[in-house]
Structure formats: C-alpha cells, structure tokens
Amino acid sequence: MQNLCYLATWYLDAGHVQGREPRSAHPSLVPSQLYRTADGFIFIICNKEKFWPILCQRIGRPEWADDPRFRSFKERLANRELVNGLLDEALSPRTTAEWLQHFAGQVPAAPVNDLRQAVDNPFVAERGRIADYGPVRMVTGPVVDRPAEAPREAAPALSADTDAVLREHAFSEAEIAGLRADRVI
C-alpha cells in the first residue's frame, strides 16, 4: 500500500481510479517512465523540479529547461507526449549503462534488468536477498526484521514434535499411546 499512498488518496477522496500509463509512467510527473536507449530502456524520474534542468543539461539540451512548454511539472504534464518523444530521441544514441554512468548522482535513473541481471545484481547480494535453504537457493522473504533472520532449515516433518508437545501439556505416555491407538494422532 505504501506505493499507492496518494493514488489511494485520490480514490478515497474523489473516487478517481487511476489506470495504467504506458511504459510504467507516473500519472502526474513528467518525465517519469521508461525511455528508449540504444540497447533497451532506462527509467528516469524527475520527482523534484530541480532534476529537470539537470537532466536537460546532461543530455545536451539545456534550452529545454527554459522552454515555456516544459518549465514546470504542470507544463510538462500538459505536453507529456512531446516531452517523452523528445527524451526518447535524445536518449536513443547511447546505451543504458552509458546514460547511468553519465547521470550518476545527478539524475534519478535506473536500468531495466532482465531476470539474470536482477538476481545477479551486487545490490541483491549485499542485502542478503538470496539464501541457501538446504538443497535449494531462493529469494528471501520481502520483510526483513534485523537482527532476527528467517530460519533457513526445513520445518520438522508433520507430527515430528507431537509427542513432545503433548508431554509439555501434561499428557502421560499411556494417554499419548491411547491417542495413537485411537488414530487421533
């Protein structure tokens, strides 16, 4: 729900149900979506006004920052198709990796990874998001409660602890044997 915060508010307060936008675009921020590069796509988001002129400078189009059609969130949203078309054109000559290096620390941008790139990403390893669970490797759970770590051993076999649990609750050996004989356990 956290990622739906204001979209949920739009619905709760005004009944607005936001549909999906092309290329994972943000419903009201421009630019904020996937853009074409020479080898795929890059996600760029100018979620603060300060990023737009920096993006324009970094892609070699500083004049766009002062263009009245693009000067603010409101104008860029009104001209979304034009902005997105221009950005596709400007970003297409370089690869995603080249743009990420060029934007590093200045423009919020991220690659679009395939499964292998996502799983083998060093960030995933640093965060301990892949773990060995006995004979298999798996993605860890989405909720992390440090310092506690989710168990990595298999759960006990069905009924493996039944006798111990019944003894803890004051069942005698004869009572346990009777339950077993009656096929209750």
Give residue 63's pLDDT.
98
Residue type, 5: C
Q: Where are the domains of the chain?
A: 24-112
What is the per-residue pLDDT across 74-105, written as a single tens digit (0 to 9) for each? Answer: 999 999 999 999 999 999 999 999 999 999 98
Share of the chain above pLDDT 90, in %: 75
What is the DSSP-derived secondary structure letter of residue 3?
G
Give residue 140's pLDDT.
87
Cα–Cα nearest to 23, from 6, 38, 42, 47: 42
Give residue 99's pLDDT.
98
How many whole angstroms separate alpha carbon 88 and alpha carbon 81? 10
* Residues of the chain under the 50 pLDDT cut: 1-2
- Please give the mean pLDDT across all residues of the chain: 92
Give residue 1's pLDDT.
47
In degrees, rounded to 5, the angle at the alpha carbon of residue 37 between the alpha carbons of residues 7 and 22 is 30
Fold of 24-112: formyl-coa transferase, domain 3 (3.30.1540)
Cα–Cα nearest to 26, from 7, 12, 49: 7
- In sequence order, which residues have a C-beta less than 8 Å from that of residue 21 and are 6 or more positions away? 27, 33
What is the DSSP-derived secondary structure letter of residue 70?
T
Residue type, 147: P
Give residue 112's pLDDT.
93
